[in-house]
């Protein structure tokens, strides 16, 4: 199936749980399955479409940032949102998580794009999902932090590099490294909003202050339109009182910025990266896959209520 082709019509499912799962072949690469209820979130008419460029950032590691990027991108793709995943983390986990090869094919990767050695249009790769494309990472990004220092306009390198791609996609998700270094600042300068994964564990809220201050500094200088897309509660364990306490405190302090969708700890969600697949391709009926579909639907609903100006 390719963008623009006719797709099956699915009935909405009461209660938000699938009664029937439907599979179809995708670009000769195999099959994937989607929930029937996502049909009502199909693409808006072209005149209403504007690109959502979202940086997924948190300087604290191990909060589910890359898991969120991979699975949110895949969920948006099965909702027929033309989506680009930009892996800006030298670990390249998001790249391998959607079946891509770190460093890309023939050295076509985001490092060369950021350093203006290669046009972004030539570095984009396809994935197993026809509406999802990838700009792969490489370990060379470690050196980019040093190479960008002293370069004029270093903070806008990524924004300028992605400019030719913006009109081709409805959503661009940027996976940031777990720090507030030069690469993350580049991502925040290129983005229109920031999605912040928040682990439901002790000390989770303490690191948000630095990230919010960085967002304010960038908003006050090179990217005045930058806003917080939302805070996503991840690794939630319903059996653990601490998870409930952290979630309650986050909602009390951050109010409507916290998404209603919560990402629970899930074995299938943890297993899927080792197979180079997002959860929706690895185990579509798993709780993890369902949670990220719910997140995608909640985000699309927010966009319709508060469109980009």
Residue 248 to residue 233: CA distance in whole angstroms: 10
pTM: 0.84
| 242 contacts: CB under 8 Å, gap ≥ 6 | 200, 201, 202
Q: Residue 28 pLDDT more than 50?
A: no
Closest CA to 132 of 175, 182, 73: 73
Position 12 pLDDT exceeds 50: no
* pLDDT for residue 309: 60
- Give me the pLDDT at residue 43, please: 47
Q: Which of 32-46, 120-134, 243-257 has the highest mean pLDDT?
A: 120-134
Q: Would you say residue 279 has pLDDT above 60?
A: yes
With cut-offs at 50, 70 and 90, classify the pLDDT of residue 210. Answer: confident
**CATH 3.30.420.40 fits domain 48-305:** no
Any idea which residue has 């009182």 for tokens?
241
Torsion, Cα 176 144 190 89, to 10 degrees, reads: -20
pLDDT in tens, 13-26: 333 333 333 333 33
Q: Name the phi and psi angles at 5, rounded to 5.
A: -75, 155
pLDDT of residue 104: 62
Q: Report whether pLDDT(39) > 50.
A: no
Region 62-69: mean pLDDT is 94
H-helix segments, 53-108: 65-78, 93-97
- Reported as a single tens digit per residue, the pLDDT across 94-149 is 999 999 987 666 689 999 999 999 999 999 999 999 999 999 999 999 998 889 98
Token code pair at residue 103: 């460093």
Q: What's 45's DSSP letter? A: P
Burial 113-133 (b: 16+ CB within 10 A, else e): bbbeebebeebbbebbbbbbb
């Amino acid at each position: 199936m390719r963008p623009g082709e006719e797709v099956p019509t699915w009935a909405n499912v009461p209660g938000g749980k699938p009664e029937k799962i439907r599979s179809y072949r995708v670009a000769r690469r195999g099959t994937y399955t989607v929930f029937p209820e996502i049909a009502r979130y199909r693409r808006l008419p072209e005149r209403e479409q504007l690109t959502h460029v979202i940086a997924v950032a948190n300087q604290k590691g191990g909060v589910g940032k890359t898991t969120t990027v991979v699975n949110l991108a895949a969920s948006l793709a099965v909702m027929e949102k033309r989506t680009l995943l930009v892996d800006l983390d030298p670990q390249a986990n998001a790249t391998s998580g959607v079946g891509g090869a770190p460093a890309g094919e023939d050295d076509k990767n985001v490092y060369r794009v950021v350093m203006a050695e290669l046009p972004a249009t030539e570095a984009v790769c396809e994935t197993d999902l026809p509406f999802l494309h990838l700009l792969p990472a490489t370990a060379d990004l470690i050196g980019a932090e040093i190479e960008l220092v002293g370069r004029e306009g270093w903070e806008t390198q990524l924004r300028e590099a992605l400019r030719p791609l913006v009109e081709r996609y409805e959503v661009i998700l940027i996976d940031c490294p777990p720090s507030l270094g030069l690469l993350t600042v580049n991502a925040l300068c290129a983005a229109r909003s920031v999605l912040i994964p928040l682990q439901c564990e002790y000390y989770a809220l303490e690191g948000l202050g630095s990230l919010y201050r960085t967002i304010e500094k960038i908003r006050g200088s090179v990217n005045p339109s930058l806003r917080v897309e939302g805070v996503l509660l991840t690794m939630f364990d319903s059996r653990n009182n601490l998870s409930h306490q952290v979630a309650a405190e986050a909602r009390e302090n951050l109010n409507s910025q916290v998404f209603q969708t919560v990402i629970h700890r899930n074995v299938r969600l943890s297993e899927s990266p080792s197979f180079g697949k997002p959860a929706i391709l690895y185990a579509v009926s798993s709780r993890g896959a369902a949670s990220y579909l719910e997140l995608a639907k909640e985000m699309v609903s927010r966009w319709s209520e508060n469109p980009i100006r």
